[in-house]
Amino acid sequence: MLKQDYMQVSPDQPINSEAPLQLLLFVDGRPQSRQQVQQIRAYLQGLSAEYSFELQIIDVGQQPYLAEHFKLVATPALVKIHPEPQQTLAGSNIIAQLKSWWPRWQAATEAFLNLQENLKDISDQDEYVVRPDSTIHSVAVSAELIKLADEIFDLKQEKEKLKEQLQFKDRVIAMLAHDLRNPLTAAAIAIETLQNNFDVENGKFEILKPKMAEHLLKQARAQTKIIDRMVADLLQVGRGNDTNLPIVPQKLELNKLSLEVLAELRDRCIAKSQKIETDIPNDLPLVYADPERIRQVLINLLDNAIKYTPNGGVISLSALHRTTQKVQFSIGDNGPGIPPENRDRIFENHYRLERDEGKDGYGIGLSLCQRIIRAHYGQIWVDSNPTGGSWFHFTLPVYPS
Ligand code: ADP
């Protein structure tokens, strides 16, 4: 009896595994092996005329787990799975190997059948009959088990990852929601002050000097921009997929942008009596970058400088045209600095120095900066002195003239 087909070996499709000699022929879809497979099949067909055996043909492309189960390294391969011991013939001369093994396989099958007969005679009971435990069906079951175990392992890992992501999201969303209150209150106070002083009939502010009214308007606008950025961060965290970072580069005046960002944060520096020093050449070339993303980088770096530098400290902004193709921008402070062993790690997602755990933050600012700068094909790094002070530098491509 010769069964030749590409039917899937699967435990829910039990196949007839009565024949004591059971073989599996593993094939692949490569055109190069087609001829060899045809020859092996024809040879087996010839053998089946003299001796009954069961043959299952398995396409490794469809049943990779079975190939894994038999630790196959090449196809085609012919595996004798019963009677035991299991044996694999592979390589370019399977037919030659089969010729030499065939008589021994037949002998082993006969021995198995005799043993079964003897046991049956002794006990005269069916349950004492030795049942083959490595039939095609049982092999399919164990291969399916390997596959399921692998899938369970993958699912468990996926679950852990999702759990971690969810916890992180919850934490970030709670913190961002909390942080949103500051700019929201500042904007609301500015708007309320303007509104309370506005005389509708005259169309003028009653007590407020025009300069003060302008300051309040600017303040309200700056705070809404901060809110906007935070909401964008929230949405990004919500999306959870932080691998894609859309960049829309354009011609950008870095000195103008940095002064705008500085103006937005000036009140915070004033509140901490921090001095700001700038050294940005007027002829700094234009860069090729996404303004919104670079704004995020500048805000994050300046925000850190203000946050980690004590009251009365000095924060500096400087830029230089490093090469014909690159502009380097630096934000320095005279705060506590970064120990040498942490200078790379602070750019990792969620990483914070133990020293700063008491301060607000969630360790994503610098990793976001790094992703943004790298997406612009630039570099970002930090220098620090043993006596303190940090200098965060980043480079951006010059806009081609
Ligand atoms: P966060 O500030 O939210 O903790 P960041 O990714 O922006 O996250 O920074 C990571 C860590 O690097 C901070 O927790 C802090 O320990 C350290 N750090 C960043 N900037 C400075 C700085 N200017 N001075 C000292 N330490 C800093």
Residue 326's beta-bridge partner residues?
Answer: 397
> How many C-beta atoms lie closer than 10 Å to residue 184's C-beta?
15
The hierarchical CATH code for the domain 151-237 is 1.10.287.130
Structure tokens at 345: 């790690």
User: pLDDT of 48-58, one tens digit each?
Assistant: 888 889 898 88
Ligand 1 pocket, residue 382 CB under 6 Å: no
The model scores a pTM over 0.75: no
Q: Is 297 in the pocket of ligand 1 (CB under 6 A)?
A: no
For the record, the structure tokens of 247 come out as 């960049």
Q: How far is it, in rounded angstroms, from Cα 154 to Cα 173?
A: 28
Q: Compute the distance from residue 329 Cα to the ligand 1 centre, in Å.
A: 18
Does the beta carbon of 388 sit less than 6 angstroms from any atom of ligand 1? Answer: no
List Cβ neighbours of 144 (8 Å cut-off, separation of 6 or more).
Answer: 10, 11, 65
Residue nearest to atom 7 of ligand 1 (CA): 365
Give the pLDDT of residue 8: 38
Which atom of ligand 1 is least distant from the CA of 309?
24
What is the predicted pLDDT for the residue at 126? Answer: 55
Residue that has been written with the tokens 């369970």 in this structure: 152
Of the pLDDT bands very low, low, confident and very high (cuts 50, 70, 90), residue 71 is confident
Q: Is 319 helix (H, G, I), strand (E, B) or coil?
A: strand
Provide CATH code, domain 244-397: 3.30.565.10
Domain locations in the chain? 2-132, 151-237, 244-397
Report pLDDT digits (tens) over 255-282: 999 999 999 898 899 999 999 999 999 8
Q: Distance from the CA of 361 to the center of ligand 1, in angstroms?
A: 8
**Closest atom, ligand 1, to C-alpha of 363:** 8
> What CATH number does domain 2-132 carry, 3.30.360.10, 3.40.30.10, 2.60.130.10, 3.30.720.120?
3.40.30.10
d(CA 234, CA 229): 9
Q: Which atom of ligand 1 lies at the shortest distance from residue 353's CA?
A: 16
pLDDT in tens, 236-248: 666 655 456 778 8
Enumerate residues 6+ apart whose C-beta is below 8 A from 131. Answer: none
Exposure string over 331-353, b if 16+ CB within 10 A, otherwise e: bbbbbbbbeeebeeebbeeeebe
Query: How many angstroms separate the alpha carbon of residue 98 from the centre of ligand 1?
Result: 69
Among 41-45, 139-143, 225-229, 246-250, the range scoring the smallest mean pLDDT is: 139-143
Token pair 């009959």 in the structure block, residue: 129
- Whether ligand 1 lies within 6 angstroms of the CB of 361 is answered as yes
Any long-range contacts for 331-334 (C-beta under 8 Å, 24+ apart)?
331/298, 331/301, 331/302, 331/305, 331/391, 331/392, 332/305, 332/389, 332/390, 332/391, 332/392, 333/305, 333/308, 333/309, 333/389, 333/390, 334/309, 334/388, 334/389
Question: CA angle at residue 300 from 298 to 302, to 5 degrees?
Answer: 65
